[in-house]
């Protein structure tokens, strides 16, 4: 294997319920393998354009899926989120949290896994409305990011374009569902290690198998 670090690419969407279930797994993978891989997080842009709208439009779909996500992954959808879902008027779009991730990466790209986890916990457990600029401030505080600069970038065209560049990268990787994860070797070799939810044990096994294959190459 080359001396340079390999890359582990996580393709997710802040509004993806299965990604919320997977976020704890990815945080554990990050903590275990951060010395072995450069971690990169790409937003997929799952809820954009005509798909974006009030939560009431997604209520039936979310209500049919979240008990399965809880049962399989062990995460809990918090009462504040379920109350917002029942009320239904909150606007739900991937765009702003994706821009927020792009802004975060301009400060701490190597910790993007941790911020993606924080975004999803805020949405699905704490029921926080991430369409509101000020609601990002408690999320960036542990990372010592200047609040005014973060908000300024959050509303800039530059970082909106950065988020849409992520969406294009996800399509280039042929990701059609979330979560997904790859190990990247060099410029062109990608090993898919997640397509949908996978347990921590499964992810560790897949990573180990890829590393063995790379060693042989």
Overall average pLDDT of the 75-93 stretch: 97
Output the DSSP codes for 148-217.
HHHHHHHTSHHHHHHHHHHHHHHHHTT--SSSEEEEEETTTEEEEEEES---HHHHHHHHHHHHHHHHH-
Q: Is pLDDT at 120 greater than 80 in this prediction?
A: yes
19 in any annotated domain: yes
The answer as to whether 170 is a domain residue is yes
Distance CA 25, CA 10 (A): 11
Query: What percentage of residues in the chain have a pLDDT greater than 90?
Result: 94
Residue 181 included in any domain? yes
Rg (CA), the chain: 17
Question: Is the residue at 200 inside a domain?
Answer: yes
State the Cα–Cα distance between residues 26 and 203, nearest whole angstrom.
9
pLDDT category, 193, cuts 50, 70, 90? very high
Which domain range does residue 193 map to?
6-216
Q: Which pLDDT does position 4 carry in this prediction?
A: 63
Please state the separation of Cα 6 from the chain's center in Å.
20
Specify if 1 maps to a domain: no
Q: Could you report the per-residue pLDDT of 128-153, keeping only the tens digit for each?
A: 999 999 999 999 999 999 999 999 99
DSSP single-letter state for residue 109: G
Q: What is the pLDDT, as a whole number, of residue 3?
A: 46
Does 65 fall in a domain? yes
| Closest CA relative to residue 154, chosen from 196, 107, 201, 122 | 107
Q: Is 58 helix (H, G, I), strand (E, B) or coil?
A: coil
Residue 47 belongs to a domain: yes
CATH number at 120 reads 3.40.30.10
Look at the chain and report how many structural domains it folds into: 1
- Say if pTM beats, i.e. exceeds, 0.85: yes
| Residue for token pair 């797994």 | 25
83 occurs within a structural domain: yes
């Amino acid at each position: 294997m080359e001396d340079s670090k390999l890359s582990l690419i996580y393709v997710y969407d802040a509004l993806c319920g299965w990604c919320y279930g997977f976020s704890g797994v990815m945080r554990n993978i990050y903590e275990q393998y951060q010395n072995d891989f450069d971690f990169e997080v790409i937003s997929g842009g799952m809820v954009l354009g005509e798909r974006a709208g009030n939560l009431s439009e997604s209520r039936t779909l979310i209500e049919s899926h979240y008990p399965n996500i809880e049962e399989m992954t062990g995460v809990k959808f918090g009462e504040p989120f379920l109350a917002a879902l029942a009320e239904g008027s909150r606007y739900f779009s991937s765009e702003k949290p994706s821009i927020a991730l792009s802004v975060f990466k301009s400060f701490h790209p190597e910790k993007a896994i941790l911020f993606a986890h924080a975004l999803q916990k805020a949405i699905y457990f704490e029921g926080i409305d991430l369409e509101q600029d000020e609601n990002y401030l408690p999320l960036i505080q542990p990372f010592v990011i200047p609040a005014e600069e973060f908000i300024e970038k959050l509303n800039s065209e530059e970082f909106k374009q950065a988020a849409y560049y992520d969406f294009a990268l996800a399509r280039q990787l042929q990701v059609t569902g979330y979560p997904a994860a790859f190990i990247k070797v060099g410029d062109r070799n990608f090993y898919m290690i997640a397509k949908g939810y996978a347990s921590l044990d499964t992810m560790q096994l897949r990573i180990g198998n890829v590393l063995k294959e790379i060693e042989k190459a």
